[in-house]
Amino acid sequence: MGILLELFITFFKIGAFSFGGGYAMLPLIEEEVIGHHGWISSTEFIDIIAVSEMTPGPIAINSATFLGYRVAGVLGSALATLGVVLPSFIVMSLIFHFVTRFKNSKYVGWIFDGIRPVVLGLIASAAVSVAGSTFIDIKAVLIAILLFYLVTFKKLNPIMAIVLAAGLGILLY
């Protein structure tokens, strides 16, 4: 199978079987692009996540775009992005049609109640996976703890947190 078709199918699967947004997709993206296909290394994956996080737009779409470009250039970038977005577009179109018809059904509520814990688990899995590769030394751990504290308890703007982290990285490394 050609690399372009493989990219599209891989990201279509990721888009189709991920619930909860971009962060919930990260473990699936990691498994596919590193574990299954070997297109990039773990270090490159962390770098792509960092750039995707800082770039405007959803992290899943940015990650697909960067990974597609890394693997197969501009066309790979376009197909990976289309692949990750298309399932959501199809599903949301269907959901809109059915939820508007059955919005008061208890079964619809139960479905969403069942999906929420899965989303939390996927996000936690992504956090643990990224943390394992990111905490390379005590300085990285201290930066993470400081920024977690500032964002969570002092309500530092996330954009300012990224800028502060970049500045600390330049100073400490």
Is residue 65 domain-shared with residue 145, that is, in the same domain?
no
Is residue 28 domain-shared with residue 105, that is, in the same domain?
yes
Is residue 32 domain-shared with residue 114, that is, in the same domain?
yes
Is residue 120 domain-shared with residue 171, that is, in the same domain?
no
Is residue 27 domain-shared with residue 112, that is, in the same domain?
yes
pLDDT at 165: 92
pLDDT in tens, the chain (173 residues): 799 999 999 999 998 887 777 777 888 899 999 999 999 999 999 999 888 888 888 888 999 999 999 999 999 999 999 999 999 899 889 888 887 887 788 888 888 889 889 888 988 888 888 888 788 899 999 999 999 999 999 999 999 999 999 999 999 98
pLDDT at 139: 93
Is residue 101 domain-shared with residue 19, that is, in the same domain?
yes
Long-range contacts, 64-72 (Cβ 8 Å, 24+): 64/11, 64/14, 64/29, 67/29, 67/33, 67/39, 67/40, 68/7, 68/11, 70/39, 70/40, 70/44, 71/3, 71/7, 71/33, 71/39, 71/40, 72/3, 72/4, 72/7
User: Which structural domain range is residue 161 located in?
Assistant: 136-173
pLDDT at 138: 92
**What's the start-to-end Cα distance of the chain, in Å?**
43
Is residue 94 domain-shared with residue 128, that is, in the same domain?
yes
Is residue 20 domain-shared with residue 82, that is, in the same domain?
yes
Is residue 36 domain-shared with residue 21, that is, in the same domain?
yes
Cα–Cα dist 61/68, whole Å:
10
Split into its structural domains, the chain has a count of 2
pLDDT at 2: 93
pLDDT at 111: 85
pLDDT at 54: 85
pLDDT at 25: 84
